[in-house]
Structure 1
């Protein structure tokens, strides 16, 4: 599942925003050049009730949240409105409906919203469903994820995979399943996937910094809770509820489990990652020069790996040539053995 995180700056408690959510009506928006109003608003989700918050426990904290759907409409290309002779297509052929699940919760006297979609769609839905004149500013949370932090995670996993990311934190990267990069000219994208990509690491061009590291997908363990999380620079996060292992949410299923994991990632995983990264920078255990040294070392590791594979391939080719000579000398005898078994029935 994909999700993006926003802050509702006008609110400080869940109760405050709950009052406005209960009273919220559909919004009719006028669009220049379009003769009909477009609709935006919130919808209740089956099994959830805006008037009755859900509650979950994360470590020693009880977290209450509200869960609903955000819905909005956007106009399709005006050139495709008409069939012929000025006849308009049906309304459903002239608009694009967008919807996404949303949960809101309170933490540290602030109200946050998790929108279960990528950042671009989430921005459109929050802009239309929560106009600033009514709801105040609703903006993406500054998540402190940088390319340098992604490289730091890479290095920590490759160099010290069994150690916590910092002494004071029970935070471990236990696997690295994927990475994504893009050329500096933003023309070509690349992605590596699989349980061994941390040792393969794509191409040498990537390692020599011709590529921009855009996202990685580590398995992260916080205490006894383990999640698979794709972290990127855009503000979109991805996780997989079937990859979750832990105690907090083992009795929860379905959408409630996804909600719990997303809240846990925001409240526990992301802040801990940022703090561990800052700790290493403050202690001069990570710096631009250490990053360069790390990339050079990885380049050497991959060259050594490539040389090893080439030697193995050459040896296999030699073995094949030798075996072909043996097979040629035995071929006539082998043919006679087959002829001796003509009466055998093969099913």
Structure 2
């Protein structure tokens, strides 16, 4: 599920924002079907009657889960007699949450102007910058660092005070849109090295990376791209929330990933740079070590074949 994070900058608290969203009958002006003149459907459902809470980063996060669906007239089909073509539906989910000071949204849409328009519509906002995109700030370098950590980290935790392991890389993409097979720090290492080296030499840029992460008692798979959005595979989640109701489980997994797991990984990356554990020279050494290990393996294989031949 592709997800992006947004910040409400109006200064209103979450309760007031939620109340405004749910009382849409007080302000919403429905669109009309251009042929039948009937009102098009517009509906928002609040999943939890009472707001839920989760503690993240030693802070109580209050949240709720919204489902929305509304109809629009399809551009270029205004006069089409078939309603199923003339009218289309937009559906989606929004997690609205607050730490008591700031209210944010996580929506199952990528970051971009269409998502901003949708959130503004749900809130009945009409002024600029009332909602702003709040992506993770990442670069290709952090993706290379993640590959480095998985291949050399021996499944060690990135943090001392809690279990945080980038268990394996399920895949990543570059400019040629090639997808790499699974990469792990253990197992058939030569295959990991070969596929990694081939990919990095054929692609000048890594545009996204798909990780399996173990965090405390949770196992989560998520894809991160250069735009700062996440794509969390909720069907593959394992952990303490597994038996919770679907919406509550999904909300907890998404919030934990957005507010704890990914920020902690990004922090470790920047600390490695500050401490000299990751740099251009380290990257060069990493690439060179891959090549050296592959060459050594090939030489060992040739020697063995030559020996067997005799």
TM-score range normalised by the length of the shorter chain: 0.7 to 0.9
Which of 261, 266, 285 is 2:258 aligned to? 266
RMSD: 3.7
The aligned residue for residue 236 of structure 1 is 229
Q: 1:81 to 1:13 in 2, by over 3 A?
A: closer
Q: Deviation per CA, 1:265-320, whole angstroms, max 9, x where unpaired?
A: 11111211121111111112112232233233334445556x479869x89xx99x
Q: Check if 1:114 corresponds to 2:115.
A: no
In structure 1, runs of 5+ residues without a counterpart are 83-87, 183-187, 320-347
Q: Residues 60-209 of structure 1 correspond to what in structure 2 (within 5 A)?
A: 61-78=59-76, 81-82=78-79, 88-107=80-99, 109-119=101-111, 122-133=115-126, 137-167=130-160, 170-182=163-175, 188-194=176-182, 199-200=192-193, 202=195, 204=197, 206-208=199-201
The aligned residue for residue 276 of structure 1 is 268
TM-score w.r.t. length of structure 1: 0.71
Q: 1:282 to 1:108 in 2, by over 3 A?
A: farther
Equivalenced residues, count: 298
Using the TM superposition, name which of 205-214 and 275-284 deviates more. 205-214
Deviation at 1:113?
A: 0.8
Q: Deviation per CA, 1:237-258, whole angstroms, max 9, x where unpaired?
A: 12233433333x2441322211
TM-score w.r.t. length of structure 2: 0.79
Aligned equivalents of 1:19, 1:232: Cα separation in 2: 34
Aligned equivalents of 2:152, 2:14: Cα separation in 1: 43
The aligned residue for residue 285 of structure 2 is 293
Q: Deviation per CA, 1:210-254, whole angstroms, max 9, x where unpaired?
A: 33111112222233333222121123312233433333x244132
Higher relative contact order (CA 8 A, sep 6+): 2
Q: Secondary structure at 2:180's aligned position in 1?
A: strand
The aligned residue for residue 53 of structure 1 is 51
Aligned equivalents of 2:40, 2:138: Cα separation in 1: 34
Aligned equivalents of 1:135, 1:282: Cα separation in 2: 37
Aligned equivalents of 1:98, 1:309: Cα separation in 2: 59
Q: 1:167 to 1:62 in 2, by over 3 A?
A: closer
Deviation at 1:74?
A: 4.8
Say which one has the larger Rg: 1
Q: 1:308 to 1:176 in 2, by over 3 A?
A: farther
In structure 2, runs of 5+ residues without a counterpart are none
Deviation at 1:90?
A: 2.9
Aligned equivalents of 2:55, 2:169: Cα separation in 1: 28
Q: Check if 1:8 corresponds to 2:5.
A: no
Q: Secondary structure at 2:126's aligned position in 1?
A: helix
